């Protein structure tokens, strides 16, 4: 019965998140080149402005989380719908580098308070420790953001140019995203901002026992390392496959397996792994990329599909872990602010991953995968160091 009551909220939030991700994070992949050509700028300028937006989102994440802790997710997510629309509309009108950076700065503000972390915090604010299934549901729906966003961006750019595509996305935020976020139930305002979850022997009823003092740092590193790998693969996987002997068509086909594998991994977490402690699921997921790399290095391009499936499935489950592990270890009190702090290094890692990993590929070719594999194994080591917290 609880699942039946939850699915309309999950569907609304998941659809809004699909729109938010498709119109921002996945936007440059289709529009960076036509945008650069239209402005007479190098493509690197477009990606640099996008990097600035990601850094801004990292800085503002804790503030947005604290606001959700205080007032609930509805007003914050409604505000970000407007900010997304304004930023994309501004992007459609830019004439040079300054306007480009300013527009992406505004979009970065919206990303810092309108993507997964904010949606997770909104759910926890409404449902407390019972939010795990709803968090999984949102990631299942929004896992199709690139599947929907890339074709839609391409269609709008082909018909109306890159400026028209940005305006089209802005309109969707006002016509679709804003009403969806406005439909979120109101959360009662707390008398004072919740800054830290209860800890130590005075922990409140319903909160977990105090975790190890380094738990938050360990989680922060795990998410930063795995998100670096995920973003690096999203940007460079076709290039790596071609460099390792695959054809361009084969590289594109193999890369297309990552998205469905992510959704399959989330379905697996929702169906079977949900009975396990989230830490156990995260450990298995962190092993996915290193195992895929080992297959690739041993068998060459023929193992490309195996790599894509293992990497994608692991990444899909780890996306859920970003929402559930902080909840399990620290409880719902102050979840939004703490989530923003834990995920801030991930945003920074994500911002620089394409540039740093691209440099590694230029120097070592497919050998750069040993670096991503080492990062995955280091994340697994941190997860093995952590101990399962009491389940509520």
H or E stretch including 338?
helix 335-364
CATH topology (fold) of 2-182: Growth Hormone; Chain: A; (1.20.1250)
Question: What pLDDT score was predicted for residue 174?
Answer: 95
Question: What pLDDT score was predicted for residue 211?
Answer: 63
Residue 100 is encoded by which pair of tokens?
Answer: 């480009």
Q: Would you say residue 175 has pLDDT above 90?
A: yes
Chain-centroid distance of CA 375 in Å reads: 18
| pLDDT-derived band at 71, boundaries 50, 70, 90 | confident
Contact, 153 vs 172, CB < 8 A?
Answer: no
pTM of the model: 0.78
Interval 323-382: pLDDT, tens: 788 888 887 777 777 877 888 888 888 888 888 888 888 888 878 889 999 999 999 999
Residue 203: CB atoms within 10 A of its CB come to: 15
Average pLDDT over residues 186-190: 65
Domain boundaries, the chain: 2-182, 212-385
* Among the four given CATH numbers 1.20.1440.130, 1.20.1250.20, 3.30.420.10, 3.40.50.300, the one describing domain 212-385: 1.20.1250.20
Interval 2-38: pLDDT, tens: 444 677 888 888 899 999 988 988 888 778 888 999 9
Average pLDDT over residues 36-57: 88
Confirm whether 2-182 and 212-385 share one CATH topology. Answer: yes
Interval 97-142: pLDDT, tens: 999 999 999 999 999 888 888 888 888 888 777 777 788 888 888 8
Q: Would you say residue 275 has pLDDT above 90?
A: no
Mean per-residue pLDDT over the chain, rounded: 82
């Amino acid at each position: 019965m609880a699942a039946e009551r939850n699915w309309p909220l999950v569907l609304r939030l998941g659809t809004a998140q699909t729109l938010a991700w498709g119109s921002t994070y996945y936007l440059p992949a289709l529009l960076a080149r036509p945008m650069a050509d239209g402005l007479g700028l190098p493509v690197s300028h477009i990606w640099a402005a996008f990097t600035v937006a990601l850094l801004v989102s990292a800085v503002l994440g804790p503030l947005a989380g604290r606001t959700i802790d205080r007032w609930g997710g509805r007003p914050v997510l409604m505000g970000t719908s407007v900010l997304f629309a304004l930023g994309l509309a501004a992007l459609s009108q830019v004439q040079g580098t300054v306007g480009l950076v300013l527009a992406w700065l505004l979009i970065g503000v919206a990303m810092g308070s309108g993507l997964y972390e904010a949606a997770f915090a909104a759910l926890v604010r409404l449902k407390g420790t019972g939010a795990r299934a709803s968090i999984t549901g949102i990631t299942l729906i929004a896992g199709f953001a690139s599947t929907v966003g890339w074709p839609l961006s391409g269609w709008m750019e082909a018909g109306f140019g890159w400026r028209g595509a940005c305006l089209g996305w802005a309109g969707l935020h006002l016509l679709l995203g804003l009403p969806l976020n406005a439909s979120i139930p109101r959360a009662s305002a707390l008398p004072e901002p919740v800054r830290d979850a209860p800890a130590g022997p005075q922990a409140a009823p319903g909160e977990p026992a105090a975790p190890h003092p380094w738990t938050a740092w360990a989680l922060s590193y795990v998410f930063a390392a795995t998100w670096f790998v995920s973003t690096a693969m999203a940007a460079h996987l076709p290039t790596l496959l071609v460099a390792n002997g695959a054809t361009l068509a084969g590289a594109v086909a193999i890369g297309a397996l990552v998205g469905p594998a992510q959704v399959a991994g989330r379905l697996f977490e929702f169906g079977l792994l949900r009975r396990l402690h989230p830490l156990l699921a995260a450990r298995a997921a962190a092993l996915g990329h290193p195992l895929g790399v080992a297959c690739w290095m041993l068998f060459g391009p023929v193992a490309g599909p195996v790599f894509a499936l293992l990497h994608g499935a692991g990444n899909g489950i780890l996306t859920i872990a970003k929402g559930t592990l902080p909840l399990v270890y620290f409880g719902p009190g102050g979840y939004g602010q703490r989530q923003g702090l834990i995920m801030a290094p991930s945003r920074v890692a994500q911002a620089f991953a394409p540039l740093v990993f691209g440099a590694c590929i230029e120097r070592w070719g497919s050998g750069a995968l040993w670096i991503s594999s080492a990062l995955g194994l280091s994340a697994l080591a941190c997860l093995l160091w952590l101990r399962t917290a009491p389940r509520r």
